[in-house]
Amino acid sequence: MKIAVFETEEWEHDACLRLQGQHDISCTRAPLDVHTALAYADAQIISPFVNSKLNADVLGFFPDLKLVATRSTGYDQIDVDFCWAHGITVSNVPNYGDSTVAEHVFALLLAVARNLIDAVERTRRGNFTQSSLRGFELHGKVLGVIGVGRIGRRVIEIAKGFGMPVIAFDLRPDDAAARRLGFRYAALDEVLAGADIVTLHVPSTPETTGLLSDHEFGLMKPGAMLINTARGSVVDVPALVRALADGRLKAAGLDVLPEEPLIREEAEVFRDDGAPGKYDLKALVANHVLLRFPNVIVTPHNAYNTDSAIRRIIETTLDNIEAFAQGKPKNVVAGG
């Protein structure tokens, strides 16, 4: 089979060589979009990463496409309806980043709680004063976990080590997990109202888009904090800006924002093929405002990015491709 792997680093090229001989495989650093698709249009299997956009226009370039093996857990960048309609299987990597992402939650949380960025920057300038650097300890603070899947459970385990009481919301409560980990489930409104820190661990779906907006921020404790390592679309960013500006929220630690590719390359807005309304320009402006808040830390969708997790991603993806080629697809999330 002809395979095209997008958004790859050099070491990933070497890892993919295990498929060479059995398959004709090509790797590129470029993301998959309407500008790069044509060069790989004869591929039967494609493997995108998180910055590729597999909408119907892009997928339409691949008449012989059989499998989309995304190197991520989420697959909201893929038009799964198109895949269902055209018999294209979609597989993902379900288990690569439980600890990796959960640990990044606490990296963000501790950095905000202890004013770490400001402290480091001022000492680099030779300023060793402690003025305005007083932080707060996590022990005894109530952590509200929205979404208790693999990552959410690992977050709860770490939180217990800090001595944090945990309340959580999930559409499918697991009472056995609650007893084992020592937390309790509550309705979403109760979690928001009772937590000192809220952390998000839900997928991007139509139901979770804008899950936290003005109403939800209004329920939160004055001075509460938000951590988001899930998906940018889960938070209404203009509402978040308002909550921070009026002091409702004390701070935020964010690894994801809506319209992330546009922040990286804003010239995309002005491409000739950009349709009116294609981009949420209000969210884009709000993103820029967030980047300038002193009480907000933003990292570049980097929570997954450890050596161990990246190795698991590529190895699981190659396993998915080999299993599909043998007629035994695995980790299937759509299509087929």
CA torsion sign, 313 to 315 to 321 to 323? negative
Give catalytic status of residue 242 as yes or no. no
**Cα 325 from Cα 148, distance rounded (Å):** 34
Element housing 251 (H / E) = strand 249-254
**Cα 74 from Cα 290, distance rounded (Å):** 24
Instruction: Kindly report the number of other CB atoms within 10 A of residue 137's CB atom.
Output: 11
Give catalytic status of residue 13 as yes or no. no
- Amino acid (1-letter code) at residue 219: L
Give catalytic status of residue 301 as yes or no. yes
Marked catalytic residue, from 153, 201, 231, 248: 231
Please, which residues bridge with residue 167 across strands?
144, 184
- Report which of 234, 254, 253 is spatially closest to residue 301, judged by C-alpha positions: 254
Marked catalytic residue, from 157, 260, 268, 315: 260
Catalytic residue numbers, as ranges: 231, 260, 301
